[in-house]
């Protein structure tokens, strides 16, 4: 996997493969705190974005890049002072556009704290086309 950008490093993000699925994990730390004892919404959104981008990059060939067009995040409940997980699925992968859904949860995957939908422009190099 390529090195993470500075924002991902600031959040302490790491990616792990569990049961064949790519999971992104964000530890609870002072840098992700919003109001006392809760995650900042920007940290949650960042985790969801990296999960989406990482999942798309994993399914694309070498020489293909993606650029976010838009992201829509739904905050469902407050993130507490514990590790937060995120995973994403590519719902559509065309020649020029990819659509991705990402979900973030803490202790119970069935109770997500946030979800996101993301559209990305796919740019293929001449060799990858």
Give pTM, 2 decimals.
0.89
Domain ranges of the chain: 6-124
Q: What is the DSSP string of the chain?
A: -PPPPHHHHHHT-EEEEETTEEEEEE---GGGBSSTTSB-HHHHHHHHHHHHHHHHHHHSPTTEEEEEEEEEEEE-S---SS-EEEEEEEEEE-SSEEEEEEEEESS-TTS-SEEEEEEEEEEE-TTT-
Question: How do the pLDDT tens digits run along the chain, 129 residues long?
Answer: 566 788 888 889 999 999 989 999 999 888 888 888 899 989 999 999 999 999 998 888 777 888 999 999 999 999 999 999 999 999 999 989 999 999 999 999 999 999 999 999 998 775 444
pLDDT for the residue numbered 2: 62
Q: Judge contact between 73 and 118, C-beta under 8 A.
A: no
Q: Judge contact between 118 and 102, C-beta under 8 A.
A: yes
d(C-alpha 123, C-alpha 105), whole Å: 31
Pick the CATH number of 6-124 from 3.40.190.290, 3.10.129.10, 1.10.3720.10, 3.20.20.70: 3.10.129.10
């Amino acid at each position: 996997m390529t090195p993470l950008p500075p924002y991902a490093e600031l959040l302490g993000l790491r990616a792990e493969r569990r049961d064949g699925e790519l999971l992104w994990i964000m530890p609870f730390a002072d840098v992700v705190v919003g109001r006392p004892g809760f995650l900042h919404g920007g940290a949650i959104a960042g985790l969801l974005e990296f999960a989406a981008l990482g999942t798309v990059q994993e399914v694309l060939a070498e020489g293909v890049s993606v650029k976010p067009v838009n992201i829509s995040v739904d905050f469902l409940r407050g993130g507490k002072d514990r590790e937060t997980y995120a995973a994403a699925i590519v719902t559509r992968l065309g020649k020029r556009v990819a659509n991705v859904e990402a979900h973030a949860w803490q202790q119970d995957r069935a109770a997500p704290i946030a979800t996101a939908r993301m559209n990305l422009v796919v740019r293929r190099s001449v060799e990858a086309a």
